[in-house]
Amino acid sequence: MVKYFLAAFYGIFVLKASAQDSTSVKDKWNATMLALPTLGTSPETGFYAGASATLDLAPAGDSTARHSVIGAEFTYTANKQFILSGRWDITNRNRDFILFGENSWMKFPELYWGIGGNTPEKNEILYDAYRIEMENGFYRRFGKNLFIGIDQQLQGMYSVKLPAETAENSSLRKEIRSGLASGFGIGALYDTRSNLLNPRPGEYLMMLHALYFSPVFGSDYRFPHGHADFRCYLKAGWKNTLALQATAEVFGEGAPFRLQAMLGGSMMLRGYYQGRFRDQNQVTAQAEYRMVLWRWLGAAAFAAMGDAFSLKHPERNGRLKSAAGLGLRIRVDKKENTSLRLDYAVADDNSRGFYISFGEAF
C-alpha cells in the first residue's frame, strides 16, 4: 500500500507497449513511459517545480540488450528561471550505432563569482540571460563495445541583463556578454552499459572527446576542449552496487566563462552551486554505494571531490572541494529496473541541494 501511495504522490505514470510491426520477437521493443511532476530545491534554482517524462525502449526477448532512452523536461523555479530540454540516447538492437543528444532553451538568472578555484563569496553578482545549449553526437561501432564518432556542441547566450556597475563588480561584468560558441570534434566510447538509467554491476564506461570551437563553425570564440569520463560499477554485497566515476576537462585560452570547466550541479559534486568554481581545467571523482532496502525501496550514500584550476594562472587556484549526501531510490519499473532518484547533498561550504530525477546520477 505504501508503494502505491508514494507512486501517486509523485505522479508517476507507467505505460508499457510492444511494437507491433512484426510478429517476430526479435523485432519487437518494449516501451516504458515514466512521467511525473518534479519538485525540489537546488543551490542554482531554489525551489523548483515542473514536469519530466522519460521513454525507455528495450528490445523484447533480450534482458542484456542496450536500452534506448528519450526524455523531456520543463522546469520553472523560484528564481524566475525556466528550462525546456530534451535528451536522447538511441541505438538499434545490434548496437551498430549510438545517437545521443541533450538540447535546451532557457531563461536563467544565475550567480557568478568569476574565474578560479579560490573566488571569494563577496564577488557574487546576479545576471540574467537567455541561453540555447546543444550537445549531440553520432557514433558507429568498431568493436563489440567500442564506438567512434563525431561530436557537436553549441552554446548561445543573448539578452544579457547585468546588475548596476560598481567598483567591485566592474571586472566581472566585462566577462558576462552575449555570444555564440560552436564547435565540432571527434570522440571514442567504450560502453558496456545495458540500462543507462541504472547500470548494472560489471558494466563500464570510458569516454574521450576532443572538440575545436572556431568561426568556421559560426563561433564567436576560438579554443580547443578535451573531456574524459570513466565509470565502473562493482558488485558490493547482495543486490548492492558500488559505482565509481572520474572525470577531467581541459579548455584552451579564449573559452567564454559559461563554457569553462565548472564544479557542482545535480550529477557531480552535488550540493555545490553549479559554476560556483570554474576555470580552464577540472578533475573530479565520486563514489556512490547503492543498496536495496526492501523490494521496491533502495538507498544510496555518495561522496565526491574535485577542483577547478589553471596551470597557467596558479595564483587563482584554491583548495580541493568535497561534497557528500544520502538518497532514496523508489523503483517504478521492476522489469527494466528503473528508479526515481531523490538525493540530498551537502557541500563543504555548507551549501545544499535536493534533487529529484529518473535514473542514477551516473
When pLDDT is averaged across residues 301-315 and rounded to a whole number, the result is 96
When pLDDT is averaged across residues 236-255 and rounded to a whole number, the result is 94
CA distance 316 to 307: 12
When pLDDT is averaged across residues 341-347 and rounded to a whole number, the result is 94
Q: What is the DSSP string of 245-301?
A: EEEEEEE-TT--GGGSEE--SSSSSTTSPTTSSEESEEEEEEEEEEEEEETTEEEEE
pLDDT for the residue 94: 87
3-state SS class at 67:
coil
When pLDDT is averaged across residues 29-50 and rounded to a whole number, the result is 84
Residue type, 341: R
* Cell numbers found for residue 181: 560558441
pLDDT for the residue 90: 94
Residue 4: DSSP 8-state: H
Q: Which CATH number goes with the domain that contains 17?
A: 2.40.160.50
Of residues 339 and 327, more confidently modeled: 327
When pLDDT is averaged across residues 120-139 and rounded to a whole number, the result is 95
Residue 309: DSSP 8-state: E
When pLDDT is averaged across residues 321-330 and rounded to a whole number, the result is 96
CA distance 189 to 279: 25
pLDDT for the residue 45: 87
What's the domain count of the chain?
1
Mean pLDDT (the chain) is 89
When pLDDT is averaged across residues 198-213 and rounded to a whole number, the result is 95
pLDDT for the residue 18: 41
Does the pLDDT of residue 4 top 50, yes or no?
no
CB of 35 within 8 A of CB of 14? no
In which residue are the cell numbers 544579457 written?
A: 160
CA distance 347 to 322: 6
pLDDT for the residue 344: 94
CB of 306 within 8 A of CB of 320? yes
Quote the pTM value. Answer: 0.85
Using CA atoms in the order 320, 325, 330, 335, what is the torsion angle rounded to 10 degrees?
30
3-state SS class at 114:
coil
CA distance 256 to 115: 10
The pLDDT-based confidence of 333 (bands split at 50, 70, 90) is confident
| CB neighbour list of residue 296: distance below 8 Å, 6 or more residues apart | 3, 330, 331, 334
CB of 323 within 8 A of CB of 303? yes
With residue 61 as reference, give the H or E element that holds it: none
Using CA atoms in the order 185, 189, 193, 196, what is the torsion angle rounded to 10 degrees?
-10
User: Measured between alpha carbons, how far is residue 303 from residues 230, 345, 347 in Å?
Assistant: 16, 9, 10
| CB neighbour list of residue 319: distance below 8 Å, 6 or more residues apart | 117, 118, 307
Highest mean pLDDT among 20-24, 39-43, 191-195: 191-195
Does the pLDDT of residue 305 top 70, yes or no?
yes
Structural domain of residue 261, as residue ranges? 2-358
When pLDDT is averaged across residues 311-336 and rounded to a whole number, the result is 90
Of residues 56 and 104, more confidently modeled: 104
When pLDDT is averaged across residues 66-86 and rounded to a whole number, the result is 93
* Cell numbers found for residue 336: 527494466
User: Measured between alpha carbons, how far is residue 216 from residues 12, 74, 220, 321 in Å?
Assistant: 45, 33, 10, 37
| CB neighbour list of residue 142: distance below 8 Å, 6 or more residues apart | 148
When pLDDT is averaged across residues 249-278 and rounded to a whole number, the result is 94
